[in-house]
Homo-oligomer: A and B are copies of this chain.
Amino acid sequence: MKYYVGIDFGGTGIKVGIIDENGKIVIKDSFVTDPSKNGDEIVKHIAECTQKVMDDSKLPQDDILGIGVGCPGLLNPETGQLKVVVNIPNLNGVYIAKGLTDILGKPAFLDNDVNTMSLGEFYYGAGKGLKHVIALTLGTGVGGGIILNGELYRGASFTAGELGHVSIARDGKYCPCGNSGCLERYVGRDGIIENFMISKNKGVETSIDKYLEDGEVTPKAIAMAAGDGDALSIRVLEETGKILGSVLATLVNALNPQAIIIGGGVSNAGELILGPARIEMMKLAYSIPANDVVLVKAKLGNDAGLVGSASLAVANLK
């Protein structure tokens, strides 16, 4: 059995884990990085955390083939250089892949977390056994990864699959990116909440209050209310799905994929969003590619980040 390390950046902390060649997590741990240290020190600390997990796993070190790092923000996957790390600016400019390889003596690879999560689903989740897969992550942000002919496709400036800023309407909602009508503003976490609140504030009846934690309306609460038949919640998720489906239809025509996999927190609403999205996608897409694609929920759940990061090593070392 061969093993791969995954390092998953999030906030100021990192998760480190090891998966076997079937994608099963053998061990995982989490650590807090000190963002006030300089870049080299942070890389050294991440390497120490990684070594600790490898030691704790009691696996033969030679059977651990490599390391994948998934990180949000701007980076260069070809050189393994971080460009803009939102919560740890001292890592900006650091060649983290080379740094980890130098210290740990194993090949290390870097990519953005949405791409690594897409690879995770491709190898070990809802895309297992397929060749052409589009994975979308719907959370606070909306991102995507595109796997074609079994390979992650990154594009000319490594932004391929960044579907959050596809404009669905020229005169649509304003997006902080400067554009109007970005998909993220409709199917991302805040967009869904906003759509719900517009109706709620107008006095549309809803039973949402029963489902709120700390009084806060969330996609999770909307999904729970919808599941119990709350008409407003159902409608808001339907509209979310419909907008998602219209963009997916274009991707189906352009890329003729076998599967579109929807992950991220918002995807926990499941068929409440995916059902209407599928209907719209099938309605608007060309019949031949539409009949050959499935729209499904991601499978890896909370481990998507970790398994995904490790999958980046799998992709590079297979």
A177 at the binding interface (Cβ < 8 Å)? yes
Known interface pairs A284-B179, A286-B177; A153-B162 also in contact (CB < 8 Å): no
Give chain B nearest CB distance to A120 CB in angstroms. Answer: 20
B253 x A163 contact (CB < 8 A): yes
B166 x A253 contact (CB < 8 A): yes
Known interface pairs A148-B153, A153-B148, A250-B247; A158-B284 also in contact (CB < 8 Å): no
Closest to A167 in B: B284
List chain B residues, Cβ under 8 A from A279: none
Give chain B nearest CB distance to A15 CB in angstroms. Answer: 28
List chain B residues, Cβ under 8 A from A151: 149
Q: Size band of the A side of the interface?
A: 35 or more
A246 at the binding interface (Cβ < 8 Å)? yes
A64 at the binding interface (Cβ < 8 Å)? no
B170 x A246 contact (CB < 8 A): yes
Using CB atoms and an 8 Å cutoff, list the residues of chain A in contact with chain B.
131-132, 144, 146, 148-149, 151, 153-163, 165-167, 170, 177-179, 181, 246-247, 249-251, 253-258, 283-289, 291-293
Known interface pairs A249-B167, A253-B162; A132-B156 also in contact (CB < 8 Å): yes
List chain B residues, Cβ under 8 A from A284: 167, 170, 179, 181
A255 x B165 contact (CB < 8 A): no
Give chain B nearest CB distance to A146 CB in angstroms. Answer: 7
7 contacts between A and B (CB under 8 A): A146-B255, A148-B148, A149-B151, A157-B288, A165-B286, A167-B249, A254-B255
List chain B residues, Cβ under 8 A from A179: 283-284, 286
Name the one of B155, B157, B162, B256 contacting A155, with C-beta atoms under 8 angstroms.
Answer: B256
The CA-CA distance from A4 to B284 in the complex, in Å, is: 40
The CA-CA distance from A101 to B25 in the complex, in Å, is: 51
Known interface pairs A284-B179, A286-B179, A289-B156; A254-B161 also in contact (CB < 8 Å): yes
Q: A156-B257, A156-B292, A162-B256 are known; give 8 further A-B pairs, CB within 8 A.
A: A131-B156, A154-B256, A155-B289, A156-B293, A159-B256, A160-B255, A160-B256, A162-B286
